[in-house]
Chains A and B, each alone.
Chain A
Amino acid sequence: DGGITQSPKYLFRKEGQNVTLSCEQNLNHDAMYWYRQDPGQGLRLIYYSQIVNDFQKGDIAEGYSVSREKKESFPLTVTSAQKNPTAFYLCASSITGQRQPQHFGDGTRLSIL
């Protein structure tokens, strides 16, 4: 079955450490996205990519980095510069073209030790 796979489901980070969240899709979607969700808050866009080897900052990109070397993969690195990284991270993908719905993975919960 086609879908979006995020791993790991739970992740713990020590102070000063970078961590990478994985997102893989087999839906053949060109566009991929990373969101952050905090309790009681809506989703906030971190980065998005419309095509391989290209990506744009979203509303809260500071302290995060991404790469898009393959169509299927869009990993997110939470760097030590991100001072408040504890959150639920969601990856999504969509067909390119305006007003196409985004489809989401099951999320990764990141906590600080």
Chain B
Amino acid sequence: SQELEQSPQSLIVQEGKNLTINCTSSKTLYGLYWYKQKYGEGLIFLMMLQKGGEEKSHEKITAKLDEKKQQSSLHITASQPSHAGIYLCGAAYSGAGSYQLTFGKGTKLSVIP
């Protein structure tokens, strides 16, 4: 089974609505990274979470790390068409090689005007 599961796989929301994307790890997280990707392009780094309970925000996007559940959630408030794209989480695991990240399969977000 996948080490890092993202849910949902895809999401269609109306502009102005809030939404949440989850990323759950089957192993203890050493660090959790959120990226955004537009189709056919590279990944844009959004946020990095390292400690349980940590919460970070970037414009209208907030990410939290729940250490007990080994899960991170990405919340977008008042979604806009510019938020559309694929959101990927990447995890660092202790002992996996300091520099290796394991990625989830991504959540495709569509925002309808």
Which positions in A face B, CB cutoff 8 Å? 4, 6, 31, 33, 35, 40-45, 48, 50, 56, 58, 88, 90, 92, 94, 96-107, 109
Return the contact of A31 from the options B40, B43, B99, B102 (Cβ within 8 A): B99
Contacts of A44 in B (CB 8 A): 103
| B47 nearest in chain A by CB position | A101
A104 cross-chain contacts in B, Cβ below 8 A: 35, 42-45
Query: Is chain A's binding surface mostly helix, strand, loop or mixed?
Result: strand
Tell me whether A48 and B100 are in contact in the complex, defined as CB-CB below 8 angstroms, given that A101-B33, A109-B40 are known contacts. yes
Assess whether B97 is interfacial by the CB under 8 Å rule: yes
B88 near A43: Cβ-Cβ < 8 Å: yes
How many Å lie between the Cα of A96 and that of B97 in the bound state?
12
Q: CB-CB < 8 A to B102: which residues of A?
A: 42
Question: Please, how many angstroms separate the alpha-carbon atoms of A45 and B30 in the complex?
Answer: 18
Known: A42-B106, A50-B99, A56-B97. A99 touches B92 (CB 8 A): yes
> In the bound complex, how far is the Cα of B102 from the Cα of A97, in angstroms?
17
Contact present for B105 and A41 (CB under 8 Å): yes
Residues of B within 8 A of A (CB): 4, 30-31, 33, 35, 40-45, 48, 50, 88, 90, 92, 97-106
Give CA–CA (A26, B104) in the complex, Å.
28
The chain B residue with its CB closest to the CB of A103 is B45
Closest Cβ–Cβ distance, residue A106 to chain B (whole Å)? 4
B42 in contact with A99 (CB, 8 Å):
no
- The interface residues of chain A lying within 8 Å CB-to-CB of B33 are 101-102
Q: Find out whether the CB atom of B45 lies under 8 angstroms from the CB atom of A102.
A: yes
CB closest chain-A residue, reference B30: A99
A90 engages B43 (CB within 8 Å): yes
CB distance from A27 to the nearest CB of B (A): 12
Question: Is B42 within 8 A of A42, CB to CB?
Answer: no
Extra contacts, 7 of them, besides A44-B103, A99-B48, A101-B33 (Cβ < 8 A), are: A41-B105, A42-B88, A42-B106, A48-B99, A97-B98, A105-B42, A107-B40
